[in-house]
Structure 1
Amino acid sequence: MPRRLRLIALATALAWSSGSQAISLPDLGDSAETALSRQSEKALGEQTMTSLRASGAMLNDPEINAYLDALGHRLVASDPDLAGQHFSFFAVDSNELNAFALPGGYIGVNSGLIAATQSESELASVLAHEISHVSQHHIARQIAAQSGTQMLSMAAMVAAILAAGTGNGQAAMAAATGATAAQQQSMINYTREHEQEADRIGFQLLVRAGFDPRAMAAFFERLQQSTRLVDAGTTPAWLRTHPLTAQRVAEAEDRAFTQPYRQVPDSQDYHLARALVRSYEGQPRDAEQRLAAELAEGRYRDRIAARYGLAAAQLRASHFAAAEATVDGLTRDGFRHPMLEALAGQILSQSGRSDAARARYEAALKRYPDHLQLVYDYPALLIKSGDFKTAAAFIDARLLLRPSDATLHQQAAEAWAALGSPLKSHRHQGEFYALSGSTKAAMEQFQLALKSTRDDGPDVQIVEARLQALRAREREDKADGRGDGRTRGNKPELSLYPHLPSDNRH
């Protein structure tokens, strides 16, 4: 079942507090950006993302991540002032109700929070709030008051908190380098002024993007109600890092009343992504039984999504015949969606019917050529089936469109290795490590690629250029004091079957 990581969200607010009182913060546009430039914010965010990947905290599901990213960028697109600013949205494999903003525009949402929302507008309201933390440079505004030495320790502190979340106490102690528990906690707390500002600007994003203006207040009220029914130790993590006062709830309600009432329907993608998240909850057979009971009793918001979620849970429980029957029923009823096609391909592939799976993927890719789950699953099946030549050709064509896709580079490395091309295999493996933040491992792979051939063709020139670029980055990092050129993170595991949580793949 998915890991129950207790990530202390907003760990990368990345600021030390000098005491229990709130720091007096500068207004947006003064010393904040000079203390921490956007480039530095992005560098800190990238280092933290490397730690997240290495910790195994991220939910390795392209469909859920693609949905979150599309939803987040819909909100971003509603504000012209955010044009050109980097944002990336992703899911975290944790049942805790939480979401967080990292430096550089990286925004994570726990799977538990996705499942807890009751509408797409509620989920959008959380993303809008986190986007506003980034757009208003709350991280930079806190760091503006800190010393350079403390700034250099921030990435290590984030790694410590993440390690503690996975239960690796020894790693946490090594990374924390003597920081006290109080200092760790002070890093993750936004000030009251920051929360009010993120609520206000987030609400504007929500309305501009066409979502329900009442959603933020509704979600706040439900979270606040939940805290009255549980012990303090089980308070939702989002409320521990985003303290929810009666004033915040009242202000959210007042803002909602300023907008005319309108009913905003949820997208089908929201219902399907939420159903997929819920299929991952608990043990496989328990999830299957729970979702089957909800479907039989009519306890669902969208019947199609409920059936899809049941099929995903049946696949997770290795009940292939039942899963196939559920998918076939949806198809007979006229439902067409790339997520359904990807699930159908997974059922055929995991039940050992490679030829049927290949035919299904190829037909689906003609209809949905850009759907990431299909783009990943098809070459994975080809590699598993031993058709490395077709896999390599497919991946190379996709990399022309997605040159920074780490998963495709890793698959290309495997395919080209099987085809006896160490130059191309090491090159793609190097790109995978570089994109994962493992600079030293990437450089080693590029060096192996150059040693594997005496030719001087285009591939060699590309590898030489990439190696020079990484060496230049390494020198810059040393000059800036960000590192010693060693690998920035462990090698993250990317499954060839990302439909399933890491410990239930087949």
Structure 2
Amino acid sequence: MSLWLGQAQVSQAFSLRGRIRGGTQTTEAVQPNRLSPEQEMRVGQKMDQDLLRSGEFTLYQNPDIQNYVVGIGERLLPYSDRADELIYTFQVIEDDQVNAFATMGGYVYVTTGLMAFAGNEAQLASVIGHEIGHIDGKHLLEQIRADAVRRGLMTATGLDESTIAQIGVELLRERPNSREAEYDADQRGLDMIGDAGYAQSAMPDFMQKLADQGGSPPEFLSTHPDPENRVEALESSIDPNQRNGDGLDSTAYYNRTQALR
């Protein structure tokens, strides 16, 4: 899961989707994995506010970079399983660490460090697609449910939205996704970038680049399954007709992200 930027810009590619209404928050208990899209967006918004208010993350104040990430996200969204349910918010976090994550309700984050490390747009798109895949798979919501049960916090009716958000923030800080969730997000992201016209080969290439850099693994890898195994799984899943495609021009990508250098 991951974060990022200034005035958070919301993707409006699907203006008819369900949206947060009225600004009020229900106190009714609900099972975390049964949140309505509107409830999930409210919880995601609260998590975003809590994370930014804590000072742990600083939004990157460069509208060109932010708009670039939003544009990639909007290109992928038509191929998301939940494009008609959620309004997505893509943000860039000012952080040299190579990392990316998603919370819930459409909130996706990437770091400036990851953007600088990526070699082309297709590699960056593969990370964004992976994080959208976590939201599509409701992976954090399932983690929250399991954690609440483990800690004895779950009532017969569930949890209120504030408690769901609080547990979600704690999980983001403390625990990686499961191996199964990461492989699922990989596959969802791979399908997404291929359908959007990006080269599917970029996803295993980026994963291999992370694995090959040596030294201590970046946070992106230290909280995820063995990258070599993921590379093999991705390579075996690539559609031969989608192996090559858009986004492989490294010079064009360098020029678009020069502010990060």
- Normalising by structure 1, we get a TM-score of 0.40
Long gaps (5+) in structure 1? 1-8, 12-30, 163-183, 279-506
- Matched with 1:277 is 260
- Indicate the SS of the match to 2:75: helix
SS in 2 for 1:64: helix
Q: Distance in 2 between matches of 1:243 and 1:263?
A: 27
Distance 1:209 1:251, change over 3 A: same
- Asked if structure 1 preserves the Cα contact closer than 8 Å seen for 2:2 and 2:99, the reply is no
Residue aligning to 2:43: 44
Could you tell me which residue of structure 2 aligns to residue 247 of structure 1?
229
Query: Number of matched residues?
Result: 222
**In the alignment, residue 193 of structure 1 is paired with which amino acid?**
E
Of 210, 215, 226, 1:230 maps to 215
Which position in structure 2 is the counterpart of 1:197?
A: 184
Q: Which of 188, 204, 215 is equivalent to 1:217? A: 204
State whether residues 143 and 151 of structure 1, in contact with CA within 8 Å, keep that contact through their aligned partners in structure 2. Answer: no
Aligned-partner Cα distance in 2 for 1:114–1:259? 27
In structure 2, the CA distance between the partners of 1:205 and 1:160, relative to structure 1 (3 Å rule), is closer
Partner of 2:94 in structure 1?
Answer: 93
C-alpha RMSD of the superposition:
2.9
Query: Matched residue of 2:229: which SS?
Result: helix
Q: How far did 1:160 drift?
A: 7.0
Cα distance 1:90–1:155, how it changes in 2: closer, same or farther (>3 A)?
same
Q: Percent identity?
A: 28
- The alpha carbon displacement at 1:84 in A equals 4.3
Contact 2:37 2:86 in 1 (8 A): no
| CA deviation vs aligned residue, 1:386-410 (integer Å, no higher than 9, x gap) | xxxxxxxxxxxxxxxxxxxxxxxxx
Larger Rg: 1
SS at match of 1:90: strand
Q: What's the CA shift string for 1:423-457, capped at 9, x where partnerless? A: xxxxxxxxxxxxxxxxxxxxxxxxxxxxxxxxxxx
Higher relative contact order, structure no. (Cα contacts within 8 Å, ≥ 6 residues apart): 2
CA gap of 1:236–1:195, structure 2 versus 1, over 3 A, is same
Alignment-mate amino acid for residue 223 of structure 1: L
CA distance in 1, matches of 2:225, 2:250: 30
In structure 2, runs of 5+ residues without a counterpart are: 4-30, 149-153
- For 1:111 and 1:103, the matched residues in 2 are separated by 21
With normalisation by structure 2, the TM-score equals 0.74
Does residue 126 (structure 1) correspond to residue 127 (structure 2)? The answer is yes
Query: Aligned letter for 1:206?
Result: I
In structure 2, distance between residues paired with 1:199 and 1:261: 15
Counterparts of 1:262 and 1:202, CA distance in 2: 15
1:58 paired residue number = 59
Residues 336-415 of structure 1: matches in 2 within 5 Å? none
Change (3 A) 1:50 1:127: same
* Alignment partners' CA distance in 1, 2:50 and 2:144: 20
Decide which moves more: 141-150 or 238-247: 141-150
Deviations 1:99-158 (A, max 9, x none): 000111110000000000001100000000000100121122223333246974454466
For residues 199-249 of structure 1, what are the alpha-carbon distances to aligned partners after superposition, in whole Å with 9 as ceiling and x for unaligned? Answer: 1111110100000110001011111122xx213xxx211112222343211
Amino acid paired to 1:250: E
Asked if the contact 1:65–1:91 (Cα under 8 Å) also holds between the matched residues in 2, the reply is yes
